[in-house]
Amino acid sequence: MTTTSLAGPTVTAAARATDLSKIYGQGETQVVALDRVSVEFRQAEFTAIMGPSGSGKSTLMHCVAGLDTFSSGSVRIGDTELGSLKDKQLTKLRRDKIGFIFQAFNLLPTLTALENITLPMDIAGRKPDKQWVENVIQMVGLSGRLGHRPAQLSGGQQQRVAVARALASQPDIIFGDEPTGNLDSRSGAEVLGFLRNSVRELGQTVVMVTHDPVAAAYADRVVFLADGRIVDEMHAPTADSVLDRMKRFDAKGRTS
Ligand SMILES: Nc1ncnc2c1ncn2[C@@H]1O[C@H](COP(=O)(O)OP(=O)(O)OP(=O)(O)O)[C@@H](O)[C@H]1O
Ligand SMILES: [Mg+2]
């Protein structure tokens, strides 16, 4: 791609938030979880979102992914303005265009690994691209485990099923909220490697919340949140450079 961050709306953004605010509660108990956040997630880019606990990372991800409502501002997935959609249309957009990987893998215990992987497409009544699904399964190394149910799989294997499920339907964008938070460092590195490969080799767009500088170093770009605002951005991050930046957040989560 030959786009630059200076270009306006012509940039191919997989998702974009503009002046996005999310306020919980009212009066004295009011919490400004997001304070006029503008951010863009470009196609075929791997973005990590970092920041202190409570800085608004999950809220941002949930609002951009159409899982939560927002107080003001706008969110676009591709060309679609989320605010303009009715519930049914939003559900359809989530199902058709977005892949999710959460820390709790959200696998259905009664289904096999393969059935879990193709479930979103089955619900949508879409025929999985067999060759593609095979490639994904190969890539995450689950070939010998497709008939197993989640309880018969290790945590790392379950997480790989969740990754394969997100990739299988070739969504426009994949969101992960600490997708490797439960894994040992080796399984985590594998999952992160798959995600990075899917971006580099397949042009997948990935946005991942993480607390781990090593995980963030797999991304092309890191966006730092503090107190509901974007306070910094880093390109071509390394674990060391991310760690250095994180150290500049004080104990209250503010930035110096
Ligand atoms: N349902 C809710 N009601 C009220 N306040 C909420 C609610 N959900 C989140 N918040 C507040 O919004 C702010 C942002 O929360 P969020 O979950 O986005 O943080 P986070 O950056 O993901 O933190 P963590 O790293 O701990 O997961 C926090 O101050 C939190 O207490
Ligand atoms: Mg969170």
pLDDT of the chain, 256 residues: tens digit per residue: 444 445 444 557 999 999 999 999 999 899 999 999 999 999 999 999 999 999 999 999 999 999 999 999 999 999 999 999 999 999 999 988 999 988 777 899 999 999 999 998 998 888 989 998 998 898 788 889 999 999 999 888 898 899 899 989 889 999 999 988 877 888 788 889 989 988 998 899 999 999 999 999 999 999 999 999 999 999 999 999 999 999 988 655 566 6
**In the prediction, which pLDDT does 255 show?**
65
pLDDT of residue 3: 46
Taking residue 256's Cβ as centre, other Cβ atoms within 10 Å add up to: 7
Q: Residue whose CA is closest, atom 2 of ligand 1?
A: 24
Choose the residue to mutate in 50, 58, 246 for probing ligand 1, maximizing ligand atoms within 8 Å of C-beta: 58
Residue nearest to atom 17 of ligand 1 (CA): 58
Q: Which amino acid is at 110?
A: T
Do the strands 46-50 and 221-226 form a parallel or antiparallel pair, or are they unpaired? parallel
Q: Whose CA is nearest to atom 12 of ligand 1?
A: 33
What are 98's strand-pairing partners? Answer: 173
109 vs 8: CA distance, rounded Å: 45
The C-alpha angle 109, 113, 114, rounded to 5 degrees, equals: 130
> Which three-class secondary structure string do you get for the chain?
CCCCCCCCCCCCEEEEEEEEEEEECCHHHCEEEEEEEEEEEECCCEEEEECCCCCCHHHHHHHHCCCCCCCEEEEEECCEEHHHCCHHHHHHHHHHHEEEEECCCCCCCCCCHHHHHHHHHHHHCCCCCHHHHHHHHHHHCCHHHCCCCHHHCCHHHHHHHHHHHHHHCCCCEEEEECCCCCCCHHHHHHHHHHHHHHHHHHCCCEEEECCCHHHHCCCCEEEEEECCEEEEEEECCCHHHHHHHHHCECCCCCEC
Does any ligand 1 atom lie closer than 6 A to the CB of residue 59? Answer: yes
Taking the CA of 249 as reference, the closest ligand is 1
Q: Backbone phi, then psi, for 80, in 5-degree steps?
A: -100, 125
Residue 134 vs residues 71, 99, 113, 187: alpha-carbon distances, Å: 42, 18, 13, 21
Q: Is the pTM value of this prediction over 0.75?
A: yes
If one counts every other C-beta atom within 10 angstroms of the C-beta of residue 129, the result is: 14
Closest CA to 197 of 171, 163, 224, 172: 163
The order of strands in the sheet holding 98-102 is 98-102, 173-177, 206-209, 46-50, 221-226, 229-235
Greatest C-alpha distance within the chain: 55
Report residue 120 as tokens: 């979103």
Both tokens of 53, joined, read 């606990």
Strand 46-50 relative to strand 98-102: parallel, antiparallel, unpaired?
unpaired
The ligand whose atoms approach the alpha carbon of 33 most closely is 1
Q: What angle, 0 to 180 degrees and rounded to 10, lies between the N-to-C axes of helices 155-168 and 130-140?
A: 150
pLDDT for 86: 94
